[in-house]
Every structure is written in structure tokens, then in C-alpha cells.
Amino acid sequence: MIRGKKPNADLRLQYPRVFRISLLASAILNGFVILLYPIPEREAYAAPEKAVIIQLEEIPETRQERRPPPPPRPVVPIATDDPDIPDDVTIEETDLDLDLDDLMPPPPLVEEEFEEEEEEEEEIVELWKVEKQPAPINWPQPAYPEIARKAGIEDKVFVTVLVDKEGNVEKIGELKGAEVFHDAVREAVKKVKFTPALQNDKPVKVWVSMPITFKLN
């Protein structure tokens, strides 16, 4: 049994009629709104024109001042054997002394700038850059300060020294530790002898840190 739709229930068949009814209702509604709320007419607003005032001012004419030309350079007479020049033309006497005997002698020549500042100061190489670090050959025991012995003070003092190319202590640097031991450390470190530090098989200057322990028996 084949069942079909009723004509009143078929939306596709009802579409043209529904469209015309909706369009007519919309036109009536818009017309009603226009009649009920008319659009007010606006008058054109013209801004008042401002009067433009033009003033003419007289600007005085300017003139560029010209500087007078520089005076001519004095003519320096030159000796000549021309017979056409009259003999009565002379040069006025001046107070200029052309005697060169009183002039200062030139400064003496400097001998190669004193050997280029005595070949500058020797370079100090950092300890980690050397191939062979300096080692102490002798290690003199520093004297225990009497004041530290009586006070029962013990400490470890670190001292930095500059070792030259011959292995001698050239300079004493920073000291860390109890200050009561500093003088004794300086006196002892001056006597220490090192093997020189080597860089590229050549002796060089380096800074070395040395620990010195002060302990009571």
C-alpha cells in the first residue's frame, strides 16, 4: 500500500503561498511604521563665515655690509743688478737683529730613546701558563714570634712572592693570616731560593703562593 502526503501538509507545495503572505505582511508592517514615525527633515546648517583680515606690513630693505679689503702686503725689496733701477732707492733701517750667534743651540740627539726605556720591564707570566712551576730549594723555618708563643696563637699564613728568572724572591706581595706572624714570614721568605719557572724552555717571572704553618710544640 503506497501512502502519500496530503496537499495541505506538503511544505514544498505550500511554499509559494506562504512566501506571498509573508511578503505582503512585511510591506504592510513597514508602511505602518513609516506612517506612525515620520522622518523629521533636517535643515541644512551653514557655519558662519569668518572674515579673513589681511594686513600688509612694510619691511625695510636690508643691505649687506661689505668689509673693507685687507691692506696690501708690504713689498719686500730684492737685491738686483738691473741698471734701470735708480741708485737713490734705499731700504729704511729696522731694529731687527739678524745676528745668529745668540740663538740657542739645537738639542742633542737622544740615543735611541735610552735603549727604548731599557727594553721595558720584564713580563710577569701567570703561574698556570708556565710549563714548569718554580720549586723551593731551601725552606728556612721562620722564627716564632715571642708574643704569639706567650698568647698560644697558632695559624697558617699564606704569602705571595714574585720569583725572578734566577729563582730569587724579587718581591713580597699579599699576606693572609694572623698579623702577628707577618714580620716573621717576610724575613723568612726573603731567604727562600727557587728553581726558575720555565715557559718554552726559557726562565720567566711568576707569582707564587706559599703556605707557612705556625704551630706550638
At residue 59, what are phi and psi to the nearest 5 degrees? -100, 120
At residue 17, what are phi and psi to the nearest 5 degrees? -65, -45
Which of 203, 187, 186, 183 minimizes the C-alpha distance to 195? 203
Rounded CA Rg of the chain? 57
Residue 78 CA to residue 81 CA, distance in Å, equals: 10
Residue 196 CA to residue 179 CA, distance in Å, equals: 29
CATH number of 124-214: 3.30.2420.10
Question: Largest Cα–Cα distance in the chain?
Answer: 160
47 forms beta bridges with none
Report pLDDT for 77. 57
In this prediction, the residues of the chain whose per-residue pLDDT falls under 50 are: 91, 94, 96, 109, 111, 113-119
Residues 68-73: contacts with CB under 8 Å, at least 24 apart? none
Report pLDDT for 197. 93
Per-domain residue ranges of the chain: 124-214
**162 near 207, Cβ under 8 Å?**
yes
Q: Which grid cell sits at 134? A: 718554580
Report pLDDT for 217. 77
Report pLDDT for 91. 47
Q: Which grid cell sits at 79? A: 737685491
Model-level pTM? 0.45
How many Å separate Cα 100 from the centre of its chain? 53
The amino acid at residue 165 is K
Report pLDDT for 114. 44
**130 near 199, Cβ under 8 Å?**
yes
Report pLDDT for 8. 65
Which of 188, 190, 198 minimizes the C-alpha distance to 166? 198
The amino acid at residue 120 is E
Q: Cβ-count burial of 94 within 10 angstroms (0-12 exposed, 13-18 middle, 19+ buried)?
A: exposed
